[in-house]
Protein backbone atom coordinates (compact mmCIF):
# COMPACT_ATOMS: atom_id res chain seq x y z
CA UNK A 1 0.00 0.00 0.00
CA UNK A 2 1.26 3.51 -0.75
CA UNK A 3 2.32 5.61 2.21
CA UNK A 4 2.24 9.38 2.51
CA UNK A 5 5.41 11.21 3.45
CA UNK A 6 4.42 12.48 6.88
CA UNK A 7 6.08 12.39 10.28
CA UNK A 8 5.72 9.21 12.29
CA UNK A 9 3.63 8.95 15.44
CA UNK A 10 6.04 9.33 18.37
CA UNK A 11 4.94 7.07 21.23
CA UNK A 12 6.67 7.59 24.59
CA UNK A 13 6.04 4.24 26.31
CA UNK A 14 7.15 3.41 29.84
CA UNK A 15 9.85 0.68 29.77
CA UNK A 16 8.54 -1.22 32.83
CA UNK A 17 4.81 -0.46 32.90
CA UNK A 18 3.79 0.13 29.24
CA UNK A 19 0.63 2.22 28.83
CA UNK A 20 -2.03 0.00 27.15
CA UNK A 21 -3.43 2.99 25.21
CA UNK A 22 -0.07 3.65 23.55
CA UNK A 23 0.62 -0.05 22.94
CA UNK A 24 -2.76 -0.23 21.20
CA UNK A 25 -1.79 2.72 18.98
CA UNK A 26 1.39 0.94 17.86
CA UNK A 27 -0.51 -2.29 17.24
CA UNK A 28 -3.10 -0.40 15.19
CA UNK A 29 -0.29 0.89 12.97
CA UNK A 30 0.93 -2.68 12.40
CA UNK A 31 -2.59 -3.92 11.71
CA UNK A 32 -3.09 -1.11 9.20
CA UNK A 33 -0.05 -2.28 7.23
CA UNK A 34 2.39 0.22 8.72
CA UNK A 35 6.03 0.00 9.68
CA UNK A 36 7.29 0.77 13.20
CA UNK A 37 10.65 1.36 14.84
CA UNK A 38 10.67 -0.21 18.29
CA UNK A 39 13.11 -1.05 21.11
CA UNK A 40 14.20 -4.58 22.04
CA UNK A 41 16.57 -6.12 24.57
CA UNK A 42 19.45 -5.72 22.10
CA UNK A 43 18.81 -2.59 20.01
CA UNK A 44 16.18 -0.80 17.92
CA UNK A 45 14.41 -2.80 15.23
CA UNK A 46 12.13 -2.13 12.28
CA UNK A 47 8.95 -4.17 12.48
CA UNK A 48 5.83 -5.02 10.48
CA UNK A 49 3.07 -7.60 10.42
CA UNK A 50 3.54 -11.10 9.04
CA UNK A 51 2.66 -11.23 5.33
CA UNK A 52 3.09 -7.49 4.77
CA UNK A 53 5.21 -7.69 1.60
CA UNK A 54 5.04 -3.93 1.03
CA UNK A 55 6.60 -3.25 4.43
CA UNK A 56 9.27 -5.91 3.84
CA UNK A 57 10.30 -4.09 0.67
CA UNK A 58 10.39 -0.81 2.58
CA UNK A 59 12.69 -2.36 5.19
CA UNK A 60 14.97 -3.60 2.40
CA UNK A 61 15.06 -0.10 0.91
CA UNK A 62 15.73 1.59 4.25
CA UNK A 63 18.51 -0.83 5.12
CA UNK A 64 19.68 -1.29 1.49
CA UNK A 65 19.77 -5.09 1.75
CA UNK A 66 19.04 -7.71 -0.90
CA UNK A 67 16.52 -10.49 -1.36
CA UNK A 68 18.66 -12.92 0.66
CA UNK A 69 18.40 -10.79 3.80
CA UNK A 70 17.30 -12.85 6.80
CA UNK A 71 14.27 -11.32 8.47
CA UNK A 72 13.48 -12.30 12.06
CA UNK A 73 10.17 -13.36 13.57
CA UNK A 74 10.09 -11.80 17.02
CA UNK A 75 7.86 -14.10 19.08
CA UNK A 76 6.09 -13.83 22.42
CA UNK A 77 6.96 -17.33 23.61
CA UNK A 78 8.25 -20.72 22.57
CA UNK A 79 4.81 -22.04 21.64
CA UNK A 80 4.40 -19.23 19.10
CA UNK A 81 7.93 -19.71 17.78
CA UNK A 82 7.23 -23.41 17.17
CA UNK A 83 4.44 -22.60 14.70
CA UNK A 84 6.88 -21.04 12.24
CA UNK A 85 10.10 -23.07 12.38
CA UNK A 86 11.02 -26.76 12.44
CA UNK A 87 12.60 -27.61 15.80
CA UNK A 88 14.21 -30.98 16.54
CA UNK A 89 14.58 -32.21 20.14
CA UNK A 90 18.26 -31.16 20.52
CA UNK A 91 17.49 -27.75 18.98
CA UNK A 92 14.46 -27.39 21.25
CA UNK A 93 16.62 -27.76 24.38
CA UNK A 94 19.28 -25.38 23.08
CA UNK A 95 16.83 -22.63 22.08
CA UNK A 96 14.70 -23.08 25.20
CA UNK A 97 17.73 -22.64 27.45
CA UNK A 98 18.76 -19.41 25.70
CA UNK A 99 15.38 -17.67 25.66
CA UNK A 100 14.21 -15.10 26.38
CA UNK A 101 17.33 -13.14 25.50
CA UNK A 102 19.35 -11.34 22.81
CA UNK A 103 19.71 -14.33 20.48
CA UNK A 104 18.38 -14.92 16.97
CA UNK A 105 18.17 -18.53 15.74
CA UNK A 106 18.19 -19.42 12.04
CA UNK A 107 15.94 -22.43 11.45
CA UNK A 108 14.02 -24.11 8.59
CA UNK A 109 10.57 -22.63 8.08
CA UNK A 110 7.18 -24.28 8.30
CA UNK A 111 4.41 -23.53 5.80
CA UNK A 112 3.15 -20.77 8.11
CA UNK A 113 5.97 -18.49 6.92
CA UNK A 114 5.16 -16.56 3.72
CA UNK A 115 7.56 -17.48 0.91
CA UNK A 116 8.67 -13.88 0.36
CA UNK A 117 10.01 -13.47 3.89
CA UNK A 118 11.99 -16.73 4.02
CA UNK A 119 15.52 -17.01 2.64
CA UNK A 120 14.95 -17.66 -1.11
CA UNK A 121 17.40 -20.58 -1.36
CA UNK A 122 17.70 -22.02 2.13
CA UNK A 123 14.00 -21.66 3.13
CA UNK A 124 15.07 -20.50 6.57
CA UNK A 125 14.10 -17.61 8.82
CA UNK A 126 15.39 -16.02 11.99
CA UNK A 127 13.35 -16.38 15.19
CA UNK A 128 13.80 -14.93 18.62
CA UNK A 129 12.10 -14.32 21.98
CA UNK A 130 13.33 -11.02 23.47
CA UNK A 131 13.47 -10.05 27.11
CA UNK A 132 11.95 -6.56 26.91
CA UNK A 133 8.70 -5.52 28.55
CA UNK A 134 7.55 -3.15 25.78
CA UNK A 135 8.27 -5.69 23.04
CA UNK A 136 6.28 -8.31 24.94
CA UNK A 137 3.39 -5.90 25.45
CA UNK A 138 3.31 -5.31 21.67
CA UNK A 139 3.40 -9.04 20.94
CA UNK A 140 0.70 -9.81 23.48
CA UNK A 141 -1.61 -7.14 22.08
CA UNK A 142 -0.92 -8.08 18.45
CA UNK A 143 -1.34 -11.81 19.03
CA UNK A 144 1.25 -12.82 16.42
CA UNK A 145 4.98 -12.38 15.75
CA UNK A 146 6.44 -9.09 14.52
CA UNK A 147 8.58 -9.46 11.39
CA UNK A 148 11.72 -7.52 12.20
CA UNK A 149 15.15 -6.38 11.09
CA UNK A 150 17.85 -4.58 13.07
CA UNK A 151 17.63 -0.81 12.57
CA UNK A 152 21.13 -0.52 11.17
CA UNK A 153 21.30 2.04 8.40
CA UNK A 154 23.77 2.12 5.49
CA UNK A 155 26.98 3.89 6.44
CA UNK A 156 26.26 3.64 10.19
CA UNK A 157 28.49 1.53 12.44
CA UNK A 158 25.87 1.13 15.17
CA UNK A 159 22.07 1.25 15.41
CA UNK A 160 20.57 4.36 17.04
CA UNK A 161 20.10 4.05 20.81
CA UNK A 162 17.38 6.66 21.45
CA UNK A 163 13.95 7.40 20.02
CA UNK A 164 14.66 11.01 19.11
CA UNK A 165 17.65 9.88 17.02
CA UNK A 166 15.41 7.35 15.24
CA UNK A 167 12.95 10.16 14.58
CA UNK A 168 15.68 12.33 13.05
CA UNK A 169 16.84 9.46 10.83
CA UNK A 170 13.52 7.91 9.84
CA UNK A 171 10.76 10.35 10.75
CA UNK A 172 9.08 10.14 7.34
CA UNK A 173 9.94 6.54 6.46
CA UNK A 174 7.99 4.75 9.20
CA UNK A 175 4.50 5.21 10.64
CA UNK A 176 5.39 4.98 14.34
CA UNK A 177 8.44 5.28 16.59
CA UNK A 178 8.40 3.89 20.12
CA UNK A 179 10.61 5.59 22.71
CA UNK A 180 11.13 3.61 25.93
CA UNK A 181 14.41 5.17 26.97
CA UNK A 182 17.91 4.39 25.79
CA UNK A 183 18.54 0.89 24.42
CA UNK A 184 21.67 -1.02 23.47
CA UNK A 185 23.52 -0.62 20.20
CA UNK A 186 24.64 -4.23 19.77
CA UNK A 187 22.46 -6.51 17.59
CA UNK A 188 21.56 -10.01 18.69
CA UNK A 189 23.94 -12.92 18.52
CA UNK A 190 22.84 -15.00 15.52
CA UNK A 191 23.02 -18.78 15.85
CA UNK A 192 22.49 -20.78 12.64
CA UNK A 193 20.89 -24.13 13.43
CA UNK A 194 19.58 -24.85 9.94
CA UNK A 195 22.37 -27.24 8.96
CA UNK A 196 23.98 -30.30 10.52
CA UNK A 197 25.77 -28.35 13.25
CA UNK A 198 25.76 -25.06 15.12
CA UNK A 199 27.31 -21.98 13.50
CA UNK A 200 27.68 -18.59 15.19
CA UNK A 201 26.75 -16.41 12.21
CA UNK A 202 27.15 -13.16 14.16
CA UNK A 203 28.54 -12.50 17.61
CA UNK A 204 26.49 -9.79 19.25
CA UNK A 205 24.74 -8.97 22.52
CA UNK A 206 24.17 -12.59 23.56
CA UNK A 207 27.00 -14.51 25.28
CA UNK A 208 28.29 -17.17 22.85
CA UNK A 209 30.07 -19.19 25.55
CA UNK A 210 26.81 -20.98 26.44
CA UNK A 211 26.96 -22.73 23.05
pLDDT in tens, the chain (211 residues): 445 467 899 999 999 999 999 999 999 999 999 999 999 999 999 999 999 999 999 999 999 998 888 899 999 999 999 999 999 998 999 999 999 999 999 999 999 998 878 888 888 999 999 999 999 999 999 999 999 999 999 999 999 999 999 999 998 899 999 999 999 999 999 999 998 889 999 999 999 998 8
- Listed residue (50, 61, 78, 66) closest to 174, CA to CA: 61
The DSSP symbol for 43 reads S
- For 82, other C-beta atoms within 10 Å of its C-beta total 15
Instruction: Check: pTM over 0.85? Answer yes or no.
Output: yes
Q: Which residues have CB under 8 Å from 40's CB, separation 6+?
A: 74, 102, 130, 132, 135, 148, 183
Q: Where are the domains positioned within the chain?
A: 9-210
DSSP string, 119-133: -TTT-EEEEE----H
pLDDT digits (tens, 9 = 90+) for 43-92: 999 999 999 999 999 999 999 998 888 899 999 999 999 999 999 998 99
- For 210, other C-beta atoms within 10 Å of its C-beta total 12
Write down the pLDDT at residue 171.
82
- For 207, other C-beta atoms within 10 Å of its C-beta total 13
Write down the pLDDT at residue 5.
60
**Dist. CA 151–CA 37, nearest whole Å:** 8
Q: What 3-state class would DSSP assign to 11?
A: strand
- Listed residue (25, 40, 37, 26) closest to 62, CA to CA: 37
**Dist. CA 83–CA 55, nearest whole Å:** 22
Question: To which CATH superfamily is domain 9-210 assigned?
Answer: DHBP synthase (3.90.870.10)
User: Could you tell me how far CA 165 lies from the centroid of its own chain?
Assistant: 19
Q: Which residues have CB under 8 Å from 119's CB, separation 6+?
A: 68, 70, 125
Amino acid sequence: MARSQRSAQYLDIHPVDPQPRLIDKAVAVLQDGGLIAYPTDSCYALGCRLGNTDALERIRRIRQVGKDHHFTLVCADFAQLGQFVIVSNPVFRLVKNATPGPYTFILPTTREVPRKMAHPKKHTVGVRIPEHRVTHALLEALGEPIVSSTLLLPGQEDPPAEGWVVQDLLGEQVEAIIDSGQVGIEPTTVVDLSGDGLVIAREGAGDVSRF
